[in-house]
């Protein structure tokens, strides 16, 4: 590993952690009360996750593709973002947002006067002063970084999870789209320069999204200035999910298949020593966690792409149950008591709905789907790709989910009842919810 890839970690006492938690609680309460932090920032915030960031980004992408609007997305990579935060700029921003007086002096003291050294095999280097950056490994550090980049997210088309930033651009034609994207990129680069953050040009990429290869623009770069540009790519990993130019999700699904495949030998070995309940627990921790991550976004992929995932899941379960390859698939899931791929997707959809009471911005309306359970949001999208967006599949699923389950308020109880219902869900209903063809315009 290169020396430049190492990051300093702050060693903090337990008392300091308690004090930081108290300070963080007060700052978060203040920022939430006055709604200072951007809704487009999903990192290190209560009730927000990488899934929420991916959901919002995918919403814009699917909407543009369904409306046949040219669009692209720039995925920005920052070099050592947490380590290069300017203390003075951060303190100025805190003051602008209303953190002043004793509170600001306390944070100034928290940032200044720190020292760091390198430890290798019980040998220590000389201590050096830390002149910039927020302390990593602390309670306050991530929050301070989120505050530092908050004004970058003034545009509703910039989505961020801490320093992982995606910029969405759309226009009426490909020529205007390039002009808009380059202007946006210059503005963002200027913001980074002013705030002493470094954009990693080599790792910053953009993807041109389209349902078809015919008519796709031929340009492969976006220019920042005469000597500086970023290049295009056909797929990129963003927040743990591989996004491809056609939103087919086949590359990501194959990546998940390969990760699950690595566990096959482990389970073959463990079946000799562990009983079924323990093997099931390991399956949920090691395999189901891989299958379900980001599934809200890519779970609507075509069956031809999901097939390989279904096969590897059944393979793992048959190893756990010590059944041969020809054993009934229905019996495998009944005996193991776990959800198959499509039912896992349904679980992700309904849990997301329970948490968010989905705001269907995609449809230009806002519905409380928990209270208006039987009110259809919109009958159909314009294209098959639009019908594959999770909002439409969720809509069809809600129309078939028992009201008694949807209206459960406590999440733990809701999830328990939901899993039981999904385990007994008829295969024909699963196919009906997932079928996009019957929902397209005549």
Question: pLDDT tens-digit profile of 230-263?
Answer: 999 999 999 999 999 999 999 999 999 999 999 9
Structural contact between residues 247 and 209, judged by C-beta atoms closer than 8 angstroms: yes
CA distance 341 to 50: 20
Last residue of one domain, picked from the residues 238, 263, 285: 238
397 in a domain, yes or no? yes
Burial class of residue 258 (count of CB atoms within 10 Å of its CB; 0-12, 13-18, 19+): exposed
CA distance 300 to 320: 28
Encoded tokens for 273: 């020593």
Task: Say if residue 217 is in the same domain as residue 291.
Answer: no
Task: Say if residue 205 is in the same domain as residue 328.
Answer: no
Output helix, strand, coil percentages for the chain, rounded to the nearest 5.
50, 10, 35
Last residue of one domain, picked from the residues 172, 206, 238: 238
243 in a domain, yes or no? no
Task: Say if residue 208 is in the same domain as residue 337.
Answer: no
DSSP 3-state of 227: coil
Task: Say if residue 303 is in the same domain as residue 207.
Answer: no
Task: Say if residue 204 is in the same domain as residue 288.
Answer: no
Task: Say if residue 298 is in the same domain as residue 431.
Answer: yes
Task: Say if residue 330 is in the same domain as residue 228.
Answer: no
Burial class of residue 145 (count of CB atoms within 10 Å of its CB; 0-12, 13-18, 19+): buried
The pLDDT of residue 200 = 96
Number of domains in the chain: 2
Residues of the chain with pLDDT under 50: 359-377, 438-442
386 in a domain, yes or no? yes
Task: Say if residue 212 is in the same domain as residue 325.
Answer: no
According to DSSP, the β-strands at 205-209 and 228-232 are parallel
Task: Say if residue 280 is in the same domain as residue 318.
Answer: yes
Type and span of the H or E element at 115: strand 115-116
Structural contact between residues 293 and 240, judged by C-beta atoms closer than 8 angstroms: yes
Type and span of the H or E element at 199: strand 198-199
22 in a domain, yes or no? yes
175 strand-pairing partners: none
Structural contact between residues 44 and 146, judged by C-beta atoms closer than 8 angstroms: yes
Last residue of one domain, picked from the residues 238, 266, 294: 238
265 in a domain, yes or no? yes
Task: Say if residue 232 is in the same domain as residue 252.
Answer: no
Task: Say if residue 125 is in the same domain as residue 32.
Answer: yes
CA distance 181 to 96: 30
According to DSSP, the β-strands at 123-124 and 128-129 are unpaired
44 in a domain, yes or no? yes
Task: Say if residue 211 is in the same domain as residue 318.
Answer: no
pTM of the model: 0.91
Tell me the H-state helices in 98-230: 101-111, 140-148, 174-194
Determine the structural domain holding residue 60 and report its residue range: 3-238
Cβ-based neighbours of 136, under 8 Å, separated by 6 or more:
7, 8, 9, 10, 82, 83
Structural contact between residues 325 and 272, judged by C-beta atoms closer than 8 angstroms: no
**CA 410 remoteness from chain centre:** 24
- If you search the block for the tokens 């203390």, which residue do you land on? 87
108 conformational bin, left if phi > 0, alpha if psi -120 to 50, beta if neither: alpha
């Amino acid at each position: 590993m290169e020396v430049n890839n190492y990051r300093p970690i702050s060693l903090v006492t337990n008392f300091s952690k308690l004090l930081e938690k108290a300070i963080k609680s007060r700052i978060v309460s203040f920022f939430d009360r006055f709604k200072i932090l951007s809704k487009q920032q999903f990192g290190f915030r209560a009730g927000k996750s990488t899934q929420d960031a991916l959901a919002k980004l995918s919403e814009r992408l699917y909407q543009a593709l369904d409306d046949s609007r040219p669009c692209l997305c720039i995925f920005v990579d920052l070099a050592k973002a947490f380590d290069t935060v300017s203390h003075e700029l951060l303190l100025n921003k805190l003051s602008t947002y209303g953190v002043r007086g004793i509170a600001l002096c306390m944070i100034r003291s928290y940032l200044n006067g720190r020292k760091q050294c390198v430890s290798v095999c019980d040998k220590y280097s000389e201590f050096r002063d830390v002149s910039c950056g927020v302390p990593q490994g602390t309670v306050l550090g991530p929050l301070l970084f989120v505050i530092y980049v908050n004004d970058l997210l003034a545009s509703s088309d910039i989505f961020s999870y801490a320093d992982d930033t995606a910029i969405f651009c759309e226009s009426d034609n490909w020529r205007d789209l390039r002009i808009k994207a380059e202007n946006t990129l210059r503005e963002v680069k200027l913001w980074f320069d002013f705030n002493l953050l470094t954009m990693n040009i080599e790792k910053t990429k953009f993807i041109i999204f389209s349902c078809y290869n015919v008519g796709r623009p031929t340009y492969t770069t976006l220019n920042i200035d005469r000597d500086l540009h970023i290049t295009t790519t056909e797929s990129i990993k963003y927040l743990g999910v591989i996004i491809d130019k056609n939103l087919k999700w086949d590359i990501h699904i194959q990546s998940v298949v390969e990760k699950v495949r690595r566990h096959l030998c482990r389970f073959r070995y463990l079946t000799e020593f562990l009983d079924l309940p323990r093997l099931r627990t390991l399956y949920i921790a090691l395999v189901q966690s891989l299958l379900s991550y980001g599934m809200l976004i890519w779970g609507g992929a075509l069956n031809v792409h999901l097939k390989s995932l279904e096969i590897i899941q059944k393979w793992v379960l048959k190893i756990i149950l010590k059944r041969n390859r020809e054993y009934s698939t229905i019996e495998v899931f009944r005996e193991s008591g776990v959800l198959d791929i499509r039912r896992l997707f349904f679980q992700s959809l309904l849990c997301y709905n329970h948490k968010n009471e989905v705001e269907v911005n995609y449809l230009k309306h806002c519905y409380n789907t928990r209270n208006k359970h039987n009110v259809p949001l919109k009958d159909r999208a314009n294209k098959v790709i639009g019908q594959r967006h999770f909002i439409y599949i969720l809509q069809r699923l809600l129309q078939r989910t028992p009201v008694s389950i949807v209206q459960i308020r406590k999440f733990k109880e809701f999830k328990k009842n939901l899993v039981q219902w999904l385990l007994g869900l008829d295969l024909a209903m699963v196919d009906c919810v997932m079928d996009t063809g019957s929902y397209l315009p005549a």
